[in-house]
Structure 1
Amino acid sequence: CRQKSRRTWKFRRKFDKNRVKSRLKKFISRRPSLKTLQEKGLIKDQIFGSHLHTVCEREHSTVPWFVKQCIEAVEKRGLDVDGIYRVSGNLATIQKLRFIVNQVTSDTQYYVFKLNLDDSQWEDIHVVTGALKMFFRELSEPLFPYSFFERFVEAISNNEKIETMRSLVKRLPPPNHDTMKILFRHLTKIVAKASQNLMSTQSLGIVFGPTLLRAENESGNVAVHMVYQNQIAEFMLTEYDKIFSSEED
């Protein structure tokens, strides 16, 4: 009787597991996709993880407001902080900031909202810089568009780097161009305080290279691409004035 009871219990347990799995599969297959939910307006496009063009289009601007807010905060209280942009902030707090920004901006009136990065919960400036880097890292397409990656790689090996870079920058879509301009202008201010924050152009190139540009398909050239990524970011920073010299602010 005990053996029979044990076999019955095992059978029921296996049956219950299979039934749960079956129900889960049905639920997943019937669950609407993210795209469907977005099309129905049930889920709005968010700031993090979106395309730069999409973010700017929603804001009627060519530079995301979150980028502006972060830069303003860093220039206000972080230019002379040791290891700015290199030192990592608390990841949990960065994720909290990311969540708040995405929640706020899901509202159609989000642009009225002014995120107060001077609030005590964002007191650690490394949290702000970490969130800014995360924003650029999570863009569905990098700040340097995929279609421009090889052209920038060729330019950094060109004898006429400045002219070639300037020409490429001018051809970028407005959101990419304007966001790039304001970001690198900000980073030149970081370099100007290098004696205090210990962040050189090379250090910032290492930090921002892989964050701002990458190949659409790495195809085993990760190490090679990383060298170019760093060099391009560093060169853009070093020659900022010349690359953007013919443009009006």
Structure 2
Amino acid sequence: MEAEASRGGLEGELIARMAKRQERRRQELLALALGVKIGCKGNLLWKPIKLLASCPQISSPVVRRSALKDTPEKLSSYEKIHNFKVHTFRGPHWCEYCANFMWGLIAQGVRCSDCGLNVHKQCSKLVPSDCQPDLRRIKKVYSCDLTTLVKAHNTTRPMVVDMCIREIELRGMKSEGLYRVSGFSEHIEDVRLAFDRDGEKADISGSAYADINIIAGALKLYLRDLPIPVITFDLYSKFIQAARLPNAESRLEAIHEGLLQLPPAHYETLRYLMAHLKRVTTFEKYNLMNAENLGIVFGPTLMQPPEQNALTTLNDMRQQKLVVQLMIEHEDVLF
């Protein structure tokens, strides 16, 4: 009897210890989302954090406000490498980095396609990542690098994402099968051409396109055609591995770590999109689109394997769906 009582006591102690460890992990994740460092100096903040962790209806707006507050800082840290290409200069030219003459008759140096900076080939390796794209050099909106477009327009996110989401939330949140039902491909192509031609002046209102699925399709096409996906090639495997973790809390922690490694423009675009998709799920009664369904739609759109292998994409579809589903469900904590 004493042995059984002792074993029962040990089991109870083990369960209590595991519960305490899980609670600690949950609180650490929330602290990360709030930007609070846990340590000696953070002890005074620990009680409010515990209160927020145990009260989702309070924590959600606080975390969201914290994310929005950080946006200007992220904008100022948007770095972009130069897009140098070999160039033949007509007439004498001097390197804008070392100020020395560019010798030769052809291919004397390189020029940045985005900002027009002219330098020697050897100097291009020394130039800092301070490219400031010139709008006159940006020929299109679709299929343009996300950071390039954002810096050229001096915005936190691509105008395509802002404008399409604004239009969808204005008149399409109750549309059955939103993002799942496809609009006419020729009309979606018209929207793409309008953005490429007119930029933020493109007309995507209801008078121009009554079917909201056309606008939803144009948004998906923009995200799908990015030369570097929103979840970058470099971080693709990290997110896939995170989705394969058996423990739910470990999955969230790993996804959060991956999000922090995204380039600022990609992070802000993803944050804004997930907040929108979370709002879409609140109209599930009408649009029949929950987080899982949206994950199926947006998984392959936001995540693409770097090797572009069809078999790899097929094998990873479940993980792609799960990553997006978790980001939607836990948007208020992960971002």
**Common topology (TM > 0.5):** yes
CA drift at 1:119: 4.5
Q: Does 2:181 align with 1:87?
A: yes
196-205 vs 156-165, greater mean Cα deviation: 156-165
**1:125 counterpart residue number:** 212
Pairing 1:5-24 to 2, within 5 Å after superposition: none
| Partner secondary structure for residue 122 of structure 1 | coil
d(CA) in 2 for partners of 1:154 and 1:62?
Answer: 29
Pairing 1:80-229 to 2, within 5 Å after superposition: 80-105=174-199, 113-158=200-245, 159=247, 160-219=250-309, 220-229=311-320
**1:61 counterpart residue number:** 155
CA drift at 1:122: 1.4
| Partner secondary structure for residue 202 of structure 1 | helix
CA contact (8 A) 2:191 2:204 kept: no
| Partner secondary structure for residue 208 of structure 2 | helix
CA drift at 1:201: 1.1
d(CA) in 2 for partners of 1:122 and 1:43?
Answer: 29
> Which portions of structure 1, spanning 4 or more consecutive aligned residues, are displaced by more than 2 angstroms?
38-45, 113-117
d(CA) in 2 for partners of 1:86 and 1:172?
Answer: 27
* Deviation sequence 1:67-103 (CA, Å, 0-9, x none): 1000001111111110110111111111011111101
CA drift at 1:239: 1.6
| Partner secondary structure for residue 80 of structure 1 | coil
CA drift at 1:43: 6.6
Structure with the higher fraction of residues in helix conformation: 1
* Deviation sequence 1:156-209 (CA, Å, 0-9, x none): 123311122112212211101000000000000110100110111111011000
d(CA) in 1 for partners of 2:319 and 2:235?
Answer: 13
User: Is there any run of 5+ residues in structure 1 with no aligned partner, and where?
Assistant: 1-35, 106-112, 245-249
**2:323 counterpart residue number:** 232
* Deviation sequence 1:130-158 (CA, Å, 0-9, x none): 00000000000110000000011111123
The partner residue of 1:47 within 114, 134, 141 is: 141
Higher RCO (Cα < 8 Å, 6 or more apart): 1
For normalisation by structure 2, the TM-score amounts to 0.57
CA contact (8 A) 1:86 1:207 kept: yes
Q: How many residues align?
A: 203
d(CA) in 2 for partners of 1:135 and 1:200?
Answer: 22
CA drift at 1:115: 3.3
Q: Percent identity?
A: 28
Amino acid at match of 1:154: Q
